[in-house]
Each structure stands twice: as structure tokens, then as C-alpha cells.
Amino acid sequence: MLRSTAAVHSRALVLFGLALGLGAIAVLSLMLGSNLISPRVVLAALVDPAQDVGAVVWGSRVPRTALGLLVGFCLGLAGAVMQGQTRNPLADPGIFGVSAGAALAVVIGVYVLGTSSVLTTLWLALAGAIVASVIVFSVAALGSGLSSPVPLAIAGTAVSALLVAFTSFLVLSDETTLAAYRIWVIGSLSGRTLSGVDAALVFAAVGIVFAVANIRSLNALALGTELASGLGENLIRARVVGLAAITLLTASAVAITGPIGFVGLTAPHVARAVIGGDHRWLLPASGLVGSGVLLACDVIGRLVGGTAEVSVGVVLTVVGGVVFIAIVRRARMVTL
């Protein structure tokens, strides 16, 4: 009993540390950017938006920071639920066709409508993501059922490949489409504002609720499907809740920034290394790690690029990839 209380304390401490780190990164994100503004002026503008720099601070840095926090949290959370559901370290949240469906919808939008405005793209991406994941679930449900994660993962990979093939076909046959697609596909926070993202926010909120509701089932599934159902776990309900959480969270993230799969893939591994495999702790930790990583990479991208900033997607994969390798080499990874 004493030992378990100590364990709870140390995990709460880790979680607190992650939140603290995230807060520091958020402050940096407000203070730093391609426009050099002194911290005092930024603070003044935060209090009083009517200041000269208010447009930069409230029009660009605040929404960027807020959306970065949200998208990172969604992806980290979705990744943790995904790996808990599939027990597969290679399963990223995009595996249920969410990213591929969003990409195809966006490309069709540019190809047919000729528009690539942030708002149209957001709606198209949301719609494409949902349609694609419904297809994936139907394929898996028609076959071996949803109780085992393996057919789901394979169906997701196959459907994604199909959608990617159509995307490549459209992109290769039209230069305008390629021009828009090659920017969107990297993933970026630049130019995103808080207006018009309501739909994505609702998706994200519902997704978070589903993820929290799935925690107990995830811990049961960690024991294996047989043991979990032996313990009285309703496997189908556990799957449906988890998959809904993953789809909603990833879809809203993809709609806001474009596909940034890497956060969802790696944040859970990092979180698991610092806080262990219990999903009650792992889920919030993974979300915090996701937020922190995404926001930090966005700040780095703003600074290294100067006026032509480097998109968060590029920084994230390059810096994040290298850092992730370093962590994997040092830490004793907790296997799934």
C-alpha cells in the first residue's frame, strides 16, 4: 500500500513536471517569432490588445500557440489510445486512413474547386478523414470483426495505400494541385487563426471525452484480448469507443495543421518511458508530451527560417526524429 502511494506520488510529479515544461514552451512561443518584440511589449499587448503589436500578438502568436497546444495534445492522446488498442509500436494515429482520407479530400478540393483556402481545406480534411476511417472500420468489421486489432491495422494500411495512390495520381496529373499539396502535406501552423476552427474544436473535445472513457478498457486490453474479455470487458464497446476517440482527435488535428503523424507515433513511446504503461497516467502524459514537442518545434521553425519560416512539420520530423532516436538509445524502452 505504502509503495503504491509512493508510485502515485512520483507519477503525479512526472506529470506536473511535464505540465511545467509545457507552460515554459508556451511562454516562449508567445515571446519568440520572426518579428523581434521584447517580452515586456508582448506582455503589455497581451493585457491590452489595442497596442501597436497587438495585431501580431493576438492575431498570430496567441492563436498559433493555442492551436499548437491543442493539436499536439490531440495527436499525443490519439497515439496513446492507438498503441493501447493495437498493441503495435508502428501504429500511428493516421493508420485508420484518417491522414490519407484527409489528403485525398484536400487534393480533390484543389483539383475540382481550385481552392486551397485554410477554411475550405479544414472542412474537406475533416470530411475526408471521417469517410476514410468509416471505410476502414467497415472492412475490418466485415472480416474478422473488431475484437482483434491486427485486421484493423492491416485494413487501415491497405485503404490508406489506395487513397494515397489516388492522391498521387491527381497530384502528378496537375501542377497546380501539386503546388498546393506539397505545402499542405508537410503540416504547418502558420496563418492559422481561431476563427472558423469551431468544428475541429468540437471534434477534438468529443474525442478527448471518448479517450478518457476508454482508459479502463485500455488497461484491460493490455493484458491481452482473451484475458480482458475474461475479466468481463465488453471488447466491441472498448474498440468502438477507442476508435472513435482516435478518429475524432486525429481528424481535428489533421484538419487544422495538415498531417503531422510523427507526434502521435512517438509521443506515447516517450511518455511510456517516463511514466510507465498505466493508461490513467500514460494518456495525459502522452498528450502533454505531444503538445510540448509540437509547440517547441513550431518555435524552432519560426526562429531558424527568419522571415521564410520552416514549417512545423519539417522541424518536427527532422529534429523530432533525431531526438527520438537519442531517447530510444538511452532510455530503457517499455515494450508494449
Partner 1 sequence: MVIVTLIALVAAIVIALLGIVAGSSSLTIPDAVRTLVGAGTPGQELIVIELRLPRVVAGLLVGAALGIAGALTQTFARNPLATPDILGVTSGASLGAVAAIVLTGGSYSVGAGLLSLGLPLVAVLGALASSAIVYGLAWRGGVDSYRLILIGIGATAALGGITSYLIARAKITDATAAAQWLVGSLSGVSWSSVWPVLVCLVVITPIALQQSTNLELTQLGDEVSTSLGVAVQRHRLVVIVCAVVLTAAAVSASGPVEFVAFVAPQIARRLARVGRPPILAAGLVGAIIVTGGDALARGVLPGQVPVGIITAIIGAPYLIWLLTRRKERETL
| Close Cβ partners of 287 (under 8 Å, ≥ 6 residues apart) | 72, 73, 74, 76, 77, 80, 267
Ranges within 113-142 binding partner 1 (CB under 8 A): 139-140, 142
Residue choice 189, 282, 293, 310 for contact with partner 1 (CB under 8 A):
310
Q: What is the dihedral of CA 240, 242, 245, 249, to 10 degrees?
A: -130
| Close Cβ partners of 120 (under 8 Å, ≥ 6 residues apart) | 109, 113
Which region, judged by CB under 8 A, interacts with partner 1, from 37-45, 216-224, 283-291, 323-331?
323-331
How many CB atoms neighbour CB 330 within 10 A?
9
CB of 213 to partner 1, least distance (A): 26
CB of 92 to partner 1, least distance (A): 9
- Which DSSP symbol is given to 53? T
CB of 156 to partner 1, least distance (A): 9
- The Cα 312–Cα 82 span in angstroms is 23
- Count residues binding partner 1 (CB under 8 A): 57
Regarding 227 and contact with partner 1 (CB under 8 A), the answer is: no
Whether 254 and 125 have beta carbons less than 8 Å apart is answered as yes
- The Cα 188–Cα 316 span in angstroms is 10
Residue choice 171, 200, 228, 274 for contact with partner 1 (CB under 8 A):
171
Ranges within 177-216 binding partner 1 (CB under 8 A): 178-179, 182-183, 185-186
Helix-strand-coil split of the chain, %, nearest 5: 80, 0, 20
Regarding 304 and contact with partner 1 (CB under 8 A), the answer is: no
CB of 239 to partner 1, least distance (A): 14
Residue choice 8, 20, 202, 325 for contact with partner 1 (CB under 8 A):
325
Which region, judged by CB under 8 A, interacts with partner 1, from 11-19, 30-38, 111-119, 164-172?
164-172
Whether 83 and 89 have beta carbons less than 8 Å apart is answered as yes
CB of 149 to partner 1, least distance (A): 9
Cell numbers for 289: 508530451
Report angle CA 12, 15, 21 to the nearest 5 degrees.
140
Q: Which C-beta is closer to partner 1: that of 10 or that of 144? A: 144
Report angle CA 226, 233, 212 to the nearest 5 degrees.
120
- Point out which residues bind partner 1 (CB under 8 A): 88-91, 95, 139-140, 142-145, 148, 150-151, 153-155, 157-159, 161-162, 164-166, 168-169, 171-172, 175, 178-179, 182-183, 185-186, 262, 265-266, 269, 310-311, 313-318, 320-322, 324-325, 328-329, 333, 335
